Amino acid sequence: MSFILNIETATKNCSVSIAKNGETIICREIAEEGYSHAEKLHVFIEEVIADSGISVQDLVAVAVSQGPGSYTGLRIGVSAAKGLCYALNIPLIAVDTLETLASKVSVSEGKIIPMLDARRMEVYSEVFTSDLQRERAIQAEIISEDSFSEYKEVLYFVGDCAEKCKPVLTKENFVFLEEIKYPSAREMSKISYDKYQKSDTVDVAYFEPYYLKDFMMTLPSKK
């Protein structure tokens, strides 16, 4: 019996879950404008462990969102995850934030495109098939009316970018699922369990979140 603690703090949503053999049994989360992760995360961890009826010694691994996302949010989540792994001598699992976000979508055809806000018209995005197979790796890009024009099937966009991207991405095959804004530890459960079964873990000492810090693209100035 494998209990895994999942921690998702890459966005405004501070989210923690306990999963048993890949199935979420309890989840605590809150999305606030002020990023309350520092205050809420450890409280949520204590609550999900207590309410699930297990002890921390029952955990076989801790999974954490690896980014991309908020620098501060990722640091808080990774620090907490590392601390637990060190103390319990259990492995650390890194989960792609955009894959977790895409996992909230259930469709039978088309592509799923999770996007997280970077700045101005910039986003972090990835492309998945309807059965959640990764088709295009993470990119940091500036959204324009030509973005994703190479895809002719229906594209389902999710994430916190709808407000700024919807007026630009207007093609008929573009569908915005605006109710799906943030990734959640609830959807991390299957991903982290699959990784645990494959021993797909990261080095607790050296693991760093995926910030995409090198994305500094600017448009050329007009002369």
Flag whether the pTM goes above 0.75. Answer: yes
Count, residues in the chain: 223
pLDDT digits (tens, 9 = 90+) for 55-100: 999 999 999 999 999 999 999 999 999 999 999 999 999 999 999 9
Whole-number Å distance between alpha carbons of 32 and 82: 24
**Confidence band (pLDDT; 50, 70, 90) for 198?**
very high
Burial 40-59 (b: 16+ CB within 10 A, else e): bbeebbeebbeebebeeebb
What is the reported pLDDT for 33? Answer: 77
What is the reported pLDDT for 216? Answer: 43
Q: Which residues pair with 132 in a beta bridge?
A: none
Asked whether the predicted pLDDT for residue 129 surpasses 90, the reply is: yes
Q: How would you classify residue 204: left for phi > 0, otherwise alpha for psi between -120 and 50, otherwise beta?
A: alpha
